[in-house]
Amino acid sequence: MNRLDNVLAPERRGRPARRWGLTCAVACALARPDLGLPAALAEGQISAAAYPSIQAALDANPGQMIFVPPGDHPLAGPIVIGKDGAGLCGPGRLVQTDTNAPVLHIRHARGVRVRDLSLSRASGRTVARASAIRAEHCADLVLEGLTISNNRSAAASIWLENCTHSEVVRCRIENYMTLSVDDRTASPHYGYAFRCIDGTGVGASSCRGLVVAANRVVEHELRPTPELKARHRLGDFVRRAATKGALVSQQTWEAGYVNNWHQGSAMVVTAPEQSDYVRILDNHIENGAQGIDIHADHVTITGNTVVNCFIGMKAMHGSRHVLVANNQFSRNDLWAIGLMPGTAAHAATAAAAGQGPRSANVDGGSLIANNIISGFGYGDSYWIWGATGSTRAPILLDRGQEPDDPPLAEVLVIGNIVFDTSRDGVLVDGVPKVEPPRYRHAVFISPGPTGPRGLRFSGNLFHPGTEGVANIQLPP
């Protein structure tokens, strides 16, 4: 039994999972019209080839697995799956021509399975307003072995909302980012909209018991270069509210520009007071903006490789009991690991002024262990973030965004490595050169009364930055 078998549902471990894989492999090999063999050889012996459309096959066989034969299958709208136990599998490629529609819309169903398909958008219509897969109010959903390419949207390529005990495993997501406008004009914290790169690989909101494992999320084309920024005026305001937002400096407001124009995350879990018990395991993430972005409780982030994202991972907005262990973070430029409160964090409150009582939504009780951070400052975004303030660091433990945010508390930092790659020499214009570290401190801890509390450090190997290991004495 391999490691991934241990995190999947019991009925999908070991031999049953391999039997399904063999069944699908046989179906894919034998459903060959050129050999005169039948197309309906997958689970349930039902093939979409026997129906006018894939949707017609699903509708005629509620709750059944439908085999999608090889070849392109153009779509003029979403395939909708809304019956318990239904699903799609096979080597077919689903090509969406409607830029406003997802490829698959799965809703109000239990036990849906979608496996081995390719999903894309038609040539010339890759920039979209919708996810490739959108799942809402589902339980025991399995998305496995999918390839999603060129779904260029500010919406996540795979988006799950209000789903329980679901899995996204062994999927490939490529070229998911797009040029967009991030509109924050209605927010009292910001009050502006700005041009940006945006996009997310796998996103989830209000989900419990989610597993995201062994996926590959890579952006090959939209990279944060000076040329792209100048060409599209990235970071420039396009609209402003009448009043400056509370979190915006006067200097930024007057300049009409922000440098955080590389938006989105390879993986994000949000809705911090609803999302719970999430596992993000053994994924490869490359060339994103933020690698892993967490607003949830009881989260396990382990075995991941995050390369060339300006943030490796962050957890905030009331993320409690987060385990960050045994990951590789390489070529990050702002933080590799960041824990901090945010505007959604709050203390427990009693009922008052027509509002019911609220449980605490705070950050802490977390463990950062056995991670390796290397090549910090050698990513695509160093030219954007290299000159920023002292809070830029491989490991950041920060204060909240607002004065009343409960502080980050009770975090163990054990057995991690921050390795200054430049000390061994790097190539500059083809010539080996030893450079100073591209960070001031290996660890930055926000000082002051709203800074983190109850931190503990033990057994770490931190190569010092240009100003030392940390901005304060690290508590043992």
| pLDDT tens track for 75-88 | 999 999 999 999 99
Token output for 14? 């070991």
The secondary structure of residue 384, as a DSSP letter, is H
Decide if 156 contacts 126 (C-beta within 8 A).
Answer: no
Q: What is the pLDDT of residues 288-303, one digit of tens each?
A: 999 999 999 999 999 9
Single out the residue of 321, 314, 226, 235 nearest to residue 277, CA to CA. Answer: 321
Query: Percent of the chain scored above 90 by pLDDT?
Result: 84
Q: What is the pLDDT of residues 244-278, one digit of tens each?
A: 999 999 999 999 999 999 999 999 999 999 999 99
Of 390 and 144, the one with more pLDDT: 144
Given a cut of 90, whether residue 65 has pLDDT beyond it is yes
Tokens 């589902």, residue located: 138
* Band of pLDDT at residue 4, cut at 50, 70 and 90: low
Kindly state whether residue 44 falls inside one of the protein's structural domains.
Answer: no
Chain mean pLDDT for the chain: 92
Decide if 160 contacts 138 (C-beta within 8 A).
Answer: yes
Q: What is the pLDDT of residues 106-141, one digit of tens each?
A: 999 999 999 999 999 999 999 999 999 999 999 999
Contacts of 282 (CB under 8 A, 6+ apart): 3, 4, 213, 214, 302, 303, 304
**Which pLDDT value is given to residue 85?**
98
Of 403 and 282, the one with more pLDDT: 282
Q: What is the pLDDT of residues 312-330, one digit of tens each?
A: 999 999 999 999 999 999 9
Q: Which long-range contacts (CB under 8 A, 24 or more apart) does 1-6 make?
A: 3/282, 3/303, 4/169, 4/213, 4/214, 4/281, 4/282
Q: What is the pLDDT of residues 275-291, one digit of tens each?
A: 999 999 999 999 999 99
Backbone dihedral angles phi then psi of residue 407, each to the nearest 5 degrees: -70, 155
Q: What is the pLDDT of residues 7-59, one digit of tens each?
A: 454 444 443 333 334 445 445 444 444 434 444 454 447 999 999 999 999 99
111: exposed, middle or buried (Cβ count in 10 Å: 0-12, 13-18, 19+): middle
Decide if 395 contacts 414 (C-beta within 8 A).
Answer: no
**Which pLDDT value is given to residue 387?**
75
Kindly state whether residue 420 falls inside one of the protein's structural domains.
Answer: yes
**Dist. CA 350–CA 362, nearest whole Å:** 16
Tokens 């590389």, residue located: 262
* Domain region containing 276: 72-82+89-345+360-462
Token output for 232? 């599209």
Question: How many angstroms separate the Cα of 388 from the Cα of each of 68, 172, 245, 397, 444?
Answer: 51, 34, 21, 17, 13
DSSP-based three-state secondary structure for 30: helix
Given a cut of 90, whether residue 408 has pLDDT beyond it is yes
Integer Rg of the chain from CA = 24
Single out the residue of 148, 265, 141, 253 nearest to residue 194, CA to CA. Answer: 253
**Which pLDDT value is given to residue 428?**
80
Kindly state whether residue 67 falls inside one of the protein's structural domains.
Answer: no
Kindly state whether residue 23 falls inside one of the protein's structural domains.
Answer: no
Single out the residue of 62, 66, 44 nearest to residue 54, CA to CA. Answer: 66
Single out the residue of 206, 117, 89 nearest to residue 159, CA to CA. Answer: 206
**Which pLDDT value is given to residue 429?**
84
Q: What is the mean pLDDT of residues 335-351?
A: 94
Cβ count within 10 A of residue 220 = 11
We report the CATH number of the domain holding residue 450 as 2.160.20
Token output for 252? 């930024």
**Which pLDDT value is given to residue 355?**
85
Instruction: Quote the Cα angle for 232-238-240, to 5°.
Output: 155
The secondary structure of residue 344, as a DSSP letter, is T
Token output for 168? 């996204």
Count of CA atoms in the C-beta half-sphere (13 A) of 236: 8
**Which pLDDT value is given to residue 427?**
84
**Which pLDDT value is given to residue 25?**
46
Kindly state whether residue 108 falls inside one of the protein's structural domains.
Answer: yes
Q: What is the pLDDT of residues 213-224, one digit of tens each?
A: 999 999 999 999
Kindly state whether residue 159 falls inside one of the protein's structural domains.
Answer: yes
The secondary structure of residue 43, as a DSSP letter, is G
The tally of domains found in the chain comes to 1
Kindly state whether residue 167 falls inside one of the protein's structural domains.
Answer: yes
* Band of pLDDT at residue 389, cut at 50, 70 and 90: confident
In this structure, are strands 290-294 and 311-315 parallel, antiparallel, or unpaired? parallel
Contacts of 121 (CB under 8 A, 6+ apart): 95, 96, 97, 99, 103, 128, 132, 150, 151, 152
Count of CA atoms in the C-beta half-sphere (13 A) of 229: 16
**Dist. CA 296–CA 317, nearest whole Å:** 8
Question: How many angstroms separate the Cα of 72 from the Cα of each of 7, 53, 91, 97, 98?
Answer: 33, 12, 10, 12, 15
Backbone dihedral angles phi then psi of residue 129, each to the nearest 5 degrees: -105, 10
**Which pLDDT value is given to residue 425?**
86
Q: What is the pLDDT of residues 424-471, one digit of tens each?
A: 988 888 888 899 999 999 999 999 999 999 999 999 999 999 999 999
**Dist. CA 66–CA 31, nearest whole Å:** 13
Token output for 313? 């991972």
Kindly state whether residue 458 falls inside one of the protein's structural domains.
Answer: yes
**Dist. CA 234–CA 220, nearest whole Å:** 19
* Band of pLDDT at residue 365, cut at 50, 70 and 90: very high
Q: What is the mean pLDDT of residues 196-220?
A: 99
Q: What is the mean pLDDT of residues 407-435?
A: 93
